[in-house]
Amino acid sequence: MPEMIGDNVQIKLIRKYLKLKIVENNVLFRNHNQEKCHVYDIIKRTILQGESHSALVIGPRGSGKTTLINSVLYELSKEVDIASDAIVIKLNGLVHHDDKIALKSITAQMQLENAVGDRVFGTFAENLSFLLSCLQSGADRRCKSMVFVLEEFDMFCHSGRTQTLLYNLFDITHTKQAPMCVLGTTNRLDVMELLEKRVKSRFSHRHIFLFSNQDVEVDGREAPARSPLELYKELLVILLSMPACIGRRDVEETPRRRKAKGKTSVNIDELIQTDDSSNYTIPIEDLERCKVDIKQFRLDSAFIADWNTHIQALAATDSVVDSIEKFCYYINNEQIFRDILFQIVSHLSPNKPYIDATDVTATIDKTVAPEHRVKLLQSLSILELSLVIAMKHGMEIFDGQPMNFEMVLHRYTKFANANSSTQTVPRPVILKAFEHLQALEIILPVRNSDSIYNASDTTASRVQKEYKLYTLAVPIEDINEAVKNFKALPTEISHWYNNSVV
């Protein structure tokens, strides 16, 4: 019995550690060494030499743009004291959509709220200049180095407003008023076309691209890119494996941190023995940010070795490999994969101490299947789903023959008139909903093979839009599943769908 209690504690500690590791460890960056060195060099020169730079990190969602910057800042923190030598300011285009909101966040991250007080400034530039002057110190009035990280950079370039924030930041880097590095991340390749002329003229036009399946460098030699399947299998092992002991990467202190604490040397006993794979551990900064005491993770080495062997075997299981391959086919986003692993780890318990292959396959299937079609149908409005149901019934009546808008409208109107609780919708609104179904490719125009012009013609090319013929592009099984699990679907529509067609 005592042994069972010990195992229970071990499982709870493993579950807590892995959840922290999956969610909080945002400095684990792999591949793209050349791009990483480029960003590292830019930020380091800004902090150490007082230079000013600007650059854009461009790549699809999930390619690791933010992780790249976080990993560079983490590695730099081991060499320089970023907390005292520089200020890192992070803004997001989805959150700081207004200049006033952005300025308020900049002031808070610079910790200058008291200096600003109730002062009133005429322009954004005046306010930003005042903030810079507050940071200047010493006989030469030098300013601290600043690193601006602009997430969702394209949202700051929205055409509906002036690009005052970008103009002022790039102007400072251009005129070298203060040592500043401005890094933007975006998934839009045409982002330069969104910039105003005055902003574009002050930008350095330095672009750093991150694309998946790029060739990588191994020991100074260029090696062919690894497949997404191999990368995600490796990531599964890294994120779900435990260190032999919560060790060196967690407790090792940088020279600056030891100096700040009055230490001149390191006690070897303080560096707990660990395995060679430092990717298995969480940086001490992440644990401190989460207010987690590292001493609570007293893990049995034999239990950890057994756990890691289990994870290695899990990653090699055929069903797990097939599921990961399916995930890579539909989605190539590391953050979504981390979310999947977080769900799996959350179900660990003393009664279920290990991860089964079925847990991985079921969670991945739930995420990427049913191929988004059911989720797409469930995201429709009640009116749009009603039109899909009306079209399904009509095609059943006419033995699968295509239907036009007027035919669908007739069936929907017949249902609406028979149910007093159904709200009357104007015809233009119904037509707009029908066109939205076409835009989502839930319904598709029918190819007209009898066209006198050419075989590639469709009836959509020469017929009034209300009379173009369409067919359903989603399987009936997906519609059944969507209606069955549609939580907000009115009862009369569900009853209408399930009734036999007359």
- Residue 89 three-state SS: strand
- Other beta carbons within 10 angstroms of residue 58's beta carbon come to 22
In a domain, 273, yes or no: yes
Highest-confidence segment of 7-11, 140-144, 147-151, 415-419: 147-151
* Residue that wins the pLDDT comparison between 449 and 91: 91
* Residue that wins the pLDDT comparison between 456 and 418: 418
Q: How many distinct structural domains can be found in the chain?
A: 3
Per-residue pLDDT, averaged over 460-479, amounts to: 81
Give the pLDDT of residue 272. 32
What residues have CB less than 8 Å from 428, skipping those under 6 apart? none
The encoded tokens of residue 226 equal: 């690894």
Give the pLDDT of residue 216. 56
Using the 8-state DSSP alphabet, how is residue 149 labeled? E
244 with 169, same domain?
A: no
d(CA 17, CA 24): 10
Inform me whether the pLDDT recorded for 256 exceeds 80: no
Assign residue 175 the CATH number of its domain: 3.40.50.300
Phi-psi label, residue 183: left if phi above 0, alpha if psi -120 to 50, beta otherwise = beta
pLDDT-derived band of residue 450, with 50, 70 and 90 as boundaries? very low
One-letter identity of residue 230: E
Say which range, 62-66, 315-319, 420-424, 467-471, has the weakest mean pLDDT.
420-424
pLDDT-derived band of residue 253, with 50, 70 and 90 as boundaries? very low
Say which range, 71-85, 373-387, 439-453, 465-479, has the weakest mean pLDDT.
439-453
- Euclidean distance between the first and the last CA atom of the chain, given in angstroms as a whole number: 66
Inform me whether the pLDDT recorded for 121 exceeds 70: yes
Q: Tens digit of pLDDT for each residue in 360-400?
A: 998 988 887 655 678 788 888 889 999 999 999 988 888 88
Query: How does the average pLDDT of the chain come out, rounded?
Result: 79
Taking CA 238 as the corner, what is the angle to CA 326 and CA 67, rounded to the nearest 5 degrees? 85
Q: Do you find a cis peptide bond into 228, omega within 30 degrees of 0?
A: no
The encoded tokens of residue 452 equal: 């006198």
Per-residue pLDDT, averaged over 354-363, amounts to: 91
> Containing domain of residue 344, as a range?
2-21+226-368
Give the pLDDT of residue 346. 92
179 with 252, same domain?
A: no
The encoded tokens of residue 238 equal: 């890294």
pLDDT-derived band of residue 266, with 50, 70 and 90 as boundaries? very low
The encoded tokens of residue 172 equal: 């400072």
Give the pLDDT of residue 181. 92
What residues have CB less than 8 Å from 250, skipping those under 6 apart? 243, 281, 282, 283, 284, 287, 294
Assign residue 448 the CATH number of its domain: 1.10.10.10
The percent of residues above 70 in pLDDT, for the chain, comes to: 79
One-letter identity of residue 206: R
299 with 402, same domain?
A: no
> Is pTM, for the whole model, over 0.75?
no
Give the pLDDT of residue 251. 42
In a domain, 221, yes or no: no
In a domain, 337, yes or no: yes
297 with 152, same domain?
A: no
Inform me whether the pLDDT recorded for 50 exceeds 80: yes
Q: Tens digit of pLDDT for each residue in 294-339?
A: 777 777 888 888 898 999 999 999 999 999 998 888 787 888 899 9
- Rounding to the nearest 10 degrees, give the CA dihedral for residues 380, 381, 387, 391: 20
Give the pLDDT of residue 344. 93
Give the pLDDT of residue 432. 92
429 with 362, same domain?
A: no
In a domain, 218, yes or no: no
42 with 116, same domain?
A: yes
pLDDT-derived band of residue 217, with 50, 70 and 90 as boundaries? low
331 with 422, same domain?
A: no
Q: How big is the chain by its Cα radius of gyration, in Å?
A: 29
Give the pLDDT of residue 249. 44
